[in-house]
Structure 1
């Protein structure tokens, strides 16, 4: 630091001049960065207001479904018929309807299939699944077989299939306020979820010859028709998910009699499909909100695997006001349940999983379901549905109303790594959390992945930390997004990109928006303002379909915080955050107290005179002429210019008499003034957080909002005054703003060592892969391979 001393005379005016900012030249972008989004957002109207709330003319369509389906466990085939009642709540006349045919994605010639790109790696080779993907799709004849589309009277309706979309032409236009009833018959071959990477399908277990079915996107579903897009009938290419409308469902699922079925909604015929023992256990589970009760035990599931029954059962489910319906079925399923209170209402938390998932799932899954419902409800709205499932099978993580498919499987010996455990915790919380976004706050996933994935990643991170304060919630930590923000801008796209066009989907749709919300909550807005606004958004758009503008506007409307600069930079741009603490200049006031002034002058003179020559000449000091001959001395040989005289003291007292009490206090304090010179090297403006470490061992943190850059977004100077001397300055000391380079965040600069790894030369590219820590501990303790058992309580 450069130290400069100035006299206190005219201090007030001088301080104000230091604080003033020179108007920014027109070449700076600050005014653009901090101007309102304005025309970037759609014009408010009677459907969607300027506040971000639904307008007086807001509408959404509705579709009710009555579905009868049968699962063929021998052929992995599903056949079904559905009756749809579609309600036209718009002000528009509709001459045709659009339905989604998601299973057609798996046809070998679908756009989603033939536009996938990639290459063969000469070293790693190619998997059989990759090599035979197209052949398998053709051999299995994947995709829907639509066998009939009829009106209410049973007369055929004309329909046209365009890949993953089907248009049904109506014999007469459907007027506003009217409804139409029609039916669709269909069947399809169920895909192998693991080999295709699908969001649903089956998994085969060769060791016992059984299947787990996780069935979703399994029926022709109505497209959404709204005030923003009209019909949202963009093709399903595999990445952009689903845009759906709410309705009531009655679904009858016929399966082999020994399969256990779970589904969206409430089971209507439990007495017909469950045993007396299972019914009794379910009743017992109602009194247990702390630990899961086993409805189907591991021993019972294992017995069912070996002794396959004949005959069929039909499970009937009813789900009201949902946007979709999914189910799972297997004779391998262990079933456990809790009945916790969520915001004053009892809700079923349930899990279905095979023995291969124990002991991990028996200990954690259902408890995680209950925890998620409580955590999310506290931050949004009370969970409105009667049940939430977590199901283990071939799908690593996918969500539907009241039903989620989750991965994380232990090793064959029942042990697991900490990474596997953490994945289970995060994936169950994430997928169950999707019940809130987008299953209830019903955003357009085909267009805006971040509106459900990003918001849900943010809430997942908070829920994980509420589960375990030491959980590595990297999905919302600013330092966690830094590697992505460092990547070349050419391989990034803004968060505000259409789902199917996103590169680096995970960081872009999940962690960047999730981290951005965390930065808003912790650094930009503060928890109280953020939490209130986020809850208001959730409440406003519960069971409705918001757009990004509705979210942006509501967050500002409910908090009173202008966030347009943040939406612009973080959501519409790809510039990173990189603040640089270039220099600190140190100014210190002189109080004009002669006792202080002359003491400092003496110390400075002594420092300057302490040269190497002076040090070496000291031994011969007594041999000099003046030392030897006293006649060579006069007044100045004994004069002390740093001695305080009475005249000095009087002059100082006369000066103090001209000051007010506050001015006198400041004059006697020897205040320190520091000018910080900062650069915004990354481009994205952010608040400036600076930590001051004082010479006495204490510290303090100063915070300045992002608007500090509003006149100059390239470089600024900021004056900070302290009554103690600062020995070290640090920008972003708590890693709050995702600064991509912290090497320029300290002044004076702090050198950081580069660690060098010492190693012995090894053969091959990779070192040996050892057992997980749980296996290692058991080996050390001399324990054998444990049997797979659930750790939850048994009846």
Structure 2
């Protein structure tokens, strides 16, 4: 999803609110109750792994299309080899036609505020479809219904369970929107138009063991949920265009000059950025493999859920080697117009892309693709497997932030294939969380990050119109979406790692979750179950308190009293979310002692008295001394001896 700048982060949510103490609750006992997410079945186990009978369907795509830069249209043919691995027969196949969002009568257009939003888009588009067919072993059908951004394609006979195959094909055409909901579009530059193409072909919806067919319409904030497969893509464009696409270029000798081929080979061995097309070569005949007419660029990508591409005669093109761990290498690349070049701008894009992908590859899960291509476009920031669209005017920390965020999405949801349309926190929140660590590691901390300051959320957490993380993206208030999808879940994971579990236990569980659900479709319960089983911790209070509903953390120090030569420290919980408690005791001789109390103290009520055994005089007691919790009331965090 669109990258959210640091300048929009947390503390700039312009609410004129004071911190208010939360009304006391009777207790938090209900949050510790056993809940349904611990139940497993043959498809998804109680330990949060794919079960022994887990299945998912697959779709391989063959796409042959042409870009008409005079009429700004894309036309061509898609052929889909779809395999039904489910245990039930299928009478029809649902497909997404997401370009249909760009019409006056689409549900997305009609549910966009008249005041506009970043998900507004052109309304002169939509698919033109012809020669639609679905061929199975028993026959061919051409019967289908189109409803908004979805197509129901009927089969001649039900598709067999556990291995039934159907070949779906159709011709399609659409006009490329200028404003494509901040996910795709056309950008006018001095040297030519940049076409950034996404959601550009009819594709199969996911059929899973939880919902069956996932047919939520494409409205705006809700993103995507896709099956995995192999993509074979042939893009015919004007000969003076450079075309980049998800996957690996199959015919470099046909579309690149000899000089460009040599430079590309040099970049594959270089940790420093190498130009493929230099700034002073843009638009010149010497940079074209063919003087006029068209060229067909052939790309292929395996085990991916999507592909995106870009085409322009305005592209500067540079690249460098990525070191992905275990001896594996890849290529970081950037394409951008002259307007974007500069040492503080897109000239650093490949450096940023390389560092980002290398960090995630060696820290969480090996990057599965060869190329990572950053495209300068009129898109604030949008991710696709192996390709990101980032705003052409981004510079400095903003360019690092958007590049890092969009390439981080290759792990969530490109590798771990969650349902973004329903659970944006499982990709945006997880990705924002890992962005914190990547940013901290980049170039000795050149750029700052705010996720390690959960109290920055307090203004939002005490806002009367706040919404929970579990709010669906298409119905969340536009002012709240950054918090429900990005910042609150990311801060929750930060607290879980740094405060509740500790880095070692968290990392073991989190990396195991990625490993077990790579190229599969996890649900929220799968994540909850797996984190608990690997970390060995019952976290029901945390999932139910932080990820569902609008409760808040508010713990405080009620009193510190001398008791039989020692001290009784009484703490209270006036919030709705219990948490483990860390106290720092400062003695009169300026020495300190930290006390850790488990979350289970709140199973016994709202107050707890801890016996501190010491012969020293207590001068001060501070709750959460490192400010790791998003505690909404700081006024009761400190006790001072009078």
Query: What TM-score results when the alignment is normalised by the length of structure 1?
Result: 0.74
Q: What's the counterpart of residue 370 of structure 1?
A: 354
Q: What's the counterpart of residue 465 of structure 1?
A: 440
Partner deviation per Cα, 1:724-749 (whole Å, 9 max, x = no partner): 22212211121101112212211129
Q: What's the counterpart of residue 161 of structure 1?
A: 146
Partner deviation per Cα, 1:163-201 (whole Å, 9 max, x = no partner): 0000111112110212111211111111113xx543111
Deviation at 1:88, TM superposition (A): 0.8
Partner deviation per Cα, 1:62-97 (whole Å, 9 max, x = no partner): 111111111111121111111111111111101110
Query: Secondary structure of the equivalent of 2:489?
Result: helix
Correspondences of 1:378-457 after superposition (within 5 Å): 378-407=362-391, 409=393, 420-457=395-432
- Of 161-170 and 676-685, deviating more is 676-685
Aligned pair 1:149/2:132, yes or no? Answer: yes
Correspondences of 1:338-357 after superposition (within 5 Å): 338-344=320-326, 345-357=328-340
Q: What's the counterpart of residue 250 of structure 2?
A: 268
Q: What's the counterpart of residue 456 of structure 2?
A: 480
- Measured at CA, do residues 305 and 435 of structure 1 come closer, stay the same or move farther in structure 2, by a change above 3 Å? farther
Q: What's the counterpart of residue 313 of structure 1?
A: 295
| CA distance in structure 2 between the partners assigned to 1:731 and 1:68 by the alignment | 62
- Measured at CA, do residues 721 and 241 of structure 1 come closer, stay the same or move farther in structure 2, by a change above 3 Å? same
Deviation at 1:706, TM superposition (A): 2.0
Q: What's the counterpart of residue 201 of structure 1?
A: 185
Query: Secondary structure of the equivalent of 1:325?
Result: coil
| CA distance in structure 1 between the partners assigned to 2:41 and 2:141 by the alignment | 40
Deviation at 1:454, TM superposition (A): 0.9
Correspondences of 1:121-200 after superposition (within 5 Å): 137=123, 141-152=124-135, 157-176=142-161, 177-193=163-179, 197-200=181-184
| CA distance in structure 1 between the partners assigned to 2:58 and 2:429 by the alignment | 26
Cα pair 2:28 2:577 within 8 Å, conserved:
no
Correspondences of 1:615-630 after superposition (within 5 Å): none
| CA distance in structure 2 between the partners assigned to 1:685 and 1:304 by the alignment | 67
Cα pair 1:350 1:366 within 8 Å, conserved:
yes
Partner deviation per Cα, 1:22-59 (whole Å, 9 max, x = no partner): xxxxx8333212222x23x3841100011111111100
Deviation at 1:438, TM superposition (A): 0.7
Q: What's the counterpart of residue 546 of structure 1?
A: 522
| CA distance in structure 2 between the partners assigned to 1:332 and 1:476 by the alignment | 40
Task: Looking at secondary structure, tell me which structure has more helix per residue.
Answer: 1
Query: Secondary structure of the equivalent of 2:261?
Result: helix
Deviation at 1:156, TM superposition (A): 6.1
Deviation at 1:150, TM superposition (A): 2.2
Query: Secondary structure of the equivalent of 2:419?
Result: coil
Cα pair 2:257 2:287 within 8 Å, conserved:
no
| CA distance in structure 2 between the partners assigned to 1:156 and 1:587 by the alignment | 84
Cα pair 1:304 1:332 within 8 Å, conserved:
no
- Bigger Cα Rg: 1
- Of 388-397 and 715-724, deviating more is 715-724
Deviation at 1:334, TM superposition (A): 1.2
Query: Secondary structure of the equivalent of 1:702?
Result: strand
Partner deviation per Cα, 1:83-123 (whole Å, 9 max, x = no partner): 1111111111011101001111111111111122355xxxx
Aligned pair 1:233/2:183, yes or no? Answer: no
Q: What's the counterpart of residue 330 of structure 1?
A: 312
Partner deviation per Cα, 1:239-298 (whole Å, 9 max, x = no partner): 11111000111100011111111111000000000001100001111221x211111111
- Measured at CA, do residues 578 and 455 of structure 1 come closer, stay the same or move farther in structure 2, by a change above 3 Å? same
Q: How many residues align?
A: 610
1:92 to 88, 94, 102: 88
Q: Which runs of 5+ in 1 are unaligned?
A: 1-26, 120-125, 411-419, 590-672, 751-795
Aligned pair 1:248/2:244, yes or no? Answer: no
| CA distance in structure 2 between the partners assigned to 1:703 and 1:163 by the alignment | 55
Cα pair 1:59 1:90 within 8 Å, conserved:
yes
Correspondences of 1:19-34 after superposition (within 5 Å): 28-34=26-32
Cα pair 2:182 2:380 within 8 Å, conserved:
no
Cα pair 2:322 2:331 within 8 Å, conserved:
yes
Aligned pair 1:496/2:470, yes or no? Answer: yes
- Measured at CA, do residues 727 and 390 of structure 1 come closer, stay the same or move farther in structure 2, by a change above 3 Å? same
| CA distance in structure 1 between the partners assigned to 2:550 and 2:29 by the alignment | 18
| CA distance in structure 1 between the partners assigned to 2:581 and 2:391 by the alignment | 41
Query: Secondary structure of the equivalent of 2:411?
Result: coil
Aligned pair 1:726/2:624, yes or no? Answer: no
| CA distance in structure 2 between the partners assigned to 1:305 and 1:77 by the alignment | 27
Query: Secondary structure of the equivalent of 1:252?
Result: strand
Cα pair 1:146 1:187 within 8 Å, conserved:
yes
Q: What's the counterpart of residue 693 of structure 1?
A: 586
Partner deviation per Cα, 1:616-638 (whole Å, 9 max, x = no partner): xxxxxxxxxxxxxxxxxxxxxxx
Q: What's the counterpart of residue 706 of structure 1?
A: 599
| CA distance in structure 2 between the partners assigned to 1:574 and 1:301 by the alignment | 53
Task: Looking at secondary structure, tell me which structure has more strand per residue.
Answer: 2
Deviation at 1:375, TM superposition (A): 1.7
Cα pair 2:336 2:392 within 8 Å, conserved:
no
| CA distance in structure 2 between the partners assigned to 1:470 and 1:681 by the alignment | 40
Deviation at 1:680, TM superposition (A): 1.7
Cα pair 2:619 2:641 within 8 Å, conserved:
no
- Measured at CA, do residues 476 and 98 of structure 1 come closer, stay the same or move farther in structure 2, by a change above 3 Å? farther
| CA distance in structure 2 between the partners assigned to 1:315 and 1:253 by the alignment | 5
Deviation at 1:428, TM superposition (A): 0.8
| CA distance in structure 1 between the partners assigned to 2:283 and 2:208 by the alignment | 49
Correspondences of 1:287-298 after superposition (within 5 Å): 287-288=269-270, 290-298=271-279
Query: Secondary structure of the equivalent of 1:245?
Result: coil
Cα pair 2:275 2:319 within 8 Å, conserved:
yes
| CA distance in structure 1 between the partners assigned to 2:631 and 2:38 by the alignment | 32
Q: What's the counterpart of residue 22 of structure 2?
A: none
Q: Which runs of 5+ in 2 are unaligned?
A: 1-24
- Measured at CA, do residues 700 and 363 of structure 1 come closer, stay the same or move farther in structure 2, by a change above 3 Å? farther
Aligned pair 1:73/2:69, yes or no? Answer: yes
Deviation at 1:309, TM superposition (A): 6.3
Deviation at 1:338, TM superposition (A): 1.1
| CA distance in structure 2 between the partners assigned to 1:693 and 1:250 by the alignment | 65
2:634 to 713, 737, 742: 742
| CA distance in structure 1 between the partners assigned to 2:614 and 2:389 by the alignment | 57
Query: Secondary structure of the equivalent of 1:388?
Result: strand
Query: What TM-score results when the alignment is normalised by the length of structure 2?
Result: 0.90
| CA distance in structure 2 between the partners assigned to 1:201 and 1:352 by the alignment | 15
- Measured at CA, do residues 62 and 521 of structure 1 come closer, stay the same or move farther in structure 2, by a change above 3 Å? same
- Measured at CA, do residues 155 and 318 of structure 1 come closer, stay the same or move farther in structure 2, by a change above 3 Å? same
| CA distance in structure 2 between the partners assigned to 1:165 and 1:110 by the alignment | 11
Q: What's the counterpart of residue 193 of structure 2?
A: 211
Cα pair 1:366 1:390 within 8 Å, conserved:
yes
Deviation at 1:356, TM superposition (A): 1.6
Q: What's the C-alpha RMSD, in Å, of the aligned pairs?
A: 2.4
2:544 to 562, 568, 590: 568
